[in-house]
Amino acid sequence: MNFKNRLKDGLLTNNPVLGQLLGLCSTMAITTTLFNGLGMGLSVTLILICSNMVISLLRKVIPEKIRIAAYIVIIAGFVTMVDLILKAYLPALSESLGVFIPLIVVNCIILGRAEAFASKNGVLASAVDGFTQGIGYTAALVVMCVIREFLGSGTFGKGVFGADGIRLLDAQYPALLVILPVGGFLTLGCLIAFSQWLNDRMKEKEGKK
């Protein structure tokens, strides 16, 4: 398995958010600060890796008729562990993300990778798939967070570089609309358009070689 191709697939070609359009509820809701985006992205990445590995290990044992239910139980176990760890060591992040951490259980990205990849491939390949898809998800969240936080609040890195982050714009200039739900839709739409344009350009270059 080519790690470089898998990473490219997760980041650009088949990005969970920008390419597959999965996990959009949490993407819209929590991408207002860099702290939230990093926290959610890394949590999902860890759960993806762990659940993919366990599902791959048990893929020949889990009966076909109950496989989805079994996948959800496995994923729920790892989500519970991550949720408890955040509450114990990062209570501010846990409170900020709120219900969206428990809702990772039904996140289409994790269940989709379990069904499409982990249930059909070995443990190492499944771990790599979980890592690359998780990194792609995290990258999309971080980009959205940076854009929305800068345009909507005029800051960078709230929660990461202090409670108020680094102020880049005077408080009178930011467009508060950007941190509202409509701002999330607009930002996501622009990023999807850009990623599709970039993919098309890359395909054209590969076709000329």
Q: Looking at the DSSP assignment, which residues form a beta bridge with residue 155? A: 167
For the chain, give the mean pLDDT: 90
Read off φ and ψ for residue 198, nearest 5 degrees: -65, -40
**Which of the pair, 205 or 194, is modelled with greater confidence?**
194
Instruction: Give the pLDDT confidence of 3-48 residue by residue, as tens digits.
Output: 888 888 888 888 999 999 888 888 988 998 999 999 999 999 999 9
Whole-prediction pTM:
0.91
Check residue 209 and give its pLDDT.
63
Q: How far apart are the C-alpha atoms of 70 and 74, rounded to whole Å?
A: 6
- Strand extents, DSSP E, the chain: 155-156, 166-167
Maximum pairwise Cα distance, the chain: 60
Instruction: Give the pLDDT confidence of 124-181 residue by residue, as tens digits.
Output: 999 999 999 999 999 999 999 999 999 988 889 888 888 888 888 887 777 888 888 8
Would you say 94 and 83 are in contact if contact means Cβ atoms under 8 Å apart?
yes
DSSP-assigned letters across all residues of 98-135: GGGTGGGGG-HHHHHHIIIIITTS-HHHHHHHHHHHHH
Check residue 1 and give its pLDDT.
64
